Structure 1
């Protein structure tokens, strides 16, 4: 065992952030003060934004150089991203995703990544629209797939976040209502603008809640409403309830 001199500070863990869209930038803002973070994104504009934030850039071939690899890409981009990094990973690393659905992404990670790599499927239950300041109290779902996960849970608690342990299947069943139906309602209510001058406080609060997801990227809407198999029965139930009302 190597002992560090008392005057030598331990290096921060390193993380490769794959994907630098709106959610990737949110991840960078929250994590960069605590980790040695680099960004991997082929889009030149994303790379320019990362450099403006003082972040290093890295290619997929460098994935093995980091303690953690966090995939912040849309669900359709997950499989090609996993295939690009898979040959370069090393034993003991942890790979995480932040996709809005968990069953499909979890299955892809287990199938495509080496067995020697630790896997943790995650879903922060907040996003760029709802997390404009400190994320204190925000929920983060953790779905352990392979290896140790408690270290990540402890780190999240130190950030003031609330880890919730789940399976991918249970996550998607719960998220079908809390996220899938919310997005469906936001899409349906979007056609009722402008809001009337005569309205209740409850209406204002409802519109504020729906506005938090109304500006999400189209691929997020597709993932949480069509990529989650548990949403379709709830949609049908909602339609029946409205018809009976």
Structure 2
């Protein structure tokens, strides 16, 4: 295989599923399935799950916590020659789930578009992590080229490499944003640019769902230790101040 793809399917049509559809509309007809979708979306045909599973390229854009159950549900119903592409924000977990559950004749491409609905609209320097996990049907090169043609920088790495870095970037960013919101950070009349950047961080991270925050913390195996080290750093700074006062 490895030829031209004309149509694709998307399982899950939440906030990021819509972003994905906007990108993919530039080259493909799109079918989507989401049991909660009730309103139409331009350029997308909503179909039953069985109908969608006839597609040869299927993007899975469901919350991380639901990923295993979705993959288990579709594993015995996928047609031969299909390639599954996930867009989860963590990578070791979904790759393990796909490798364990999907038949050998189903291709697997692991991706993490490192942008969300908000940053997609305002950022012209988009990045996407990709991993050629099991390219049974020679689709990896095609999809890498397509996303590059959309102006997206592609970073190839292993799921483990991704999660180690994401724990320090995405995990810490979302933790700090949520922590500052819990603290009650507010705009003042003497805000510096640095402070305004912190307010923007809160807005951006907290505009994502609470479920995304908890999934990033719980499903990346490296995030817990990173956050613990971050907390220890605050203790270190506090102890240094105490030393000056003693």
TM-score, normalized by the shorter chain, greater than 0.5: yes
Structure 2 vs 1, CA of residues 171 and 108 (structure 1 numbering), >3 Å: closer, same or farther?
same
Distance in 2 separating the partners of 1:17 and 1:187: 30
**Would you say the 8 A contact 1:19–1:40 is kept in 2?**
yes
**Aligned counterparts of 2:4 and 2:101: Cα–Cα separation in 1:** 30
Aligned partner of residue 219 in structure 2, secondary structure: coil
> What corresponds to 2:55 in structure 1?
66
> 138-147 or 124-133: which moved more?
124-133
Q: TM-score if structure 2 supplies the norm length?
A: 0.88
Q: Is the 8 A contact 1:20 1:41 kept in 2?
A: yes
Contact 1:78 1:105 in 2 (8 A): yes
How many residue pairs match? The answer is 231
User: Do the aligned residues in 2 keep the contact of 1:13 with 1:67 (CA within 8 Å)?
Assistant: no
SS in 2 for 1:199: coil
Asked if the contact 1:63/1:89 (under 8 Å) is kept, the reply is no
Task: Report what 2:177 is aligned to.
Answer: 186
Give me the CA root mean square deviation.
1.8
Please state whether the residue corresponding to 2:169 is helix, strand or coil. helix
Summarize the alignment of residues 189-204 of structure 1 with structure 2, pairs less than 5 Å apart: 189-190=180-181, 191-204=183-196
Q: Using the TM superposition, give the Cα deviation of residue 244 of structure 1 relative to its aligned residue in structure 2, in angstroms.
A: 1.4
Match in the other structure for 2:166: 175
Unaligned runs of at least 5 residues, structure 2: 238-246
Question: Is the partner of 1:129 in helix, strand or coil?
Answer: helix
- The equivalent of 1:212 in structure 2 is 204
What does residue 99 of structure 1 align with? 88
Structure 1 residues 12 and 150: alpha-carbon distance in aligned structure 2, compared to 1, 3 A threshold: closer
Kindly indicate whether the alpha-carbon contact (under 8 Å) linking 2:171 and 2:223 is maintained by their aligned counterparts in 1: yes
Q: Which runs of structure 2 are paired with 1:52-91 in the superposition (5 Å)?
A: 52-91=41-80
Secondary structure of residue in 2 paired with 1:202: helix
Q: Does 1:140 align with 2:133?
A: no
Are 1:129 and 1:213, in contact at CA under 8 Å, matched by a contact in 2? Answer: no
Shift of 1:105: 0.6
TM-score normalised by length of structure 1: 0.88
Deviation at 1:176, TM superposition (A): 0.1
Structure 1 residue runs without a partner (length 5+): 1-9
- CA distance in 2 between counterparts of 1:90 and 1:52 reads 26
Give the match's secondary structure for 2:88.
Answer: coil
User: 1:72, CA displacement in angstroms?
Assistant: 0.5
Structure 1 residue ranges (4+ consecutive) displaced by more than 3 angstroms after TM superposition: none
The 5 A counterparts of 1:26-65 are: 26-43=19-36, 46=37, 48-49=38-39, 51-65=40-54
In structure 1, C-alpha distance between the alignment counterparts of 2:191 and 2:184, rounded to whole Å? 13
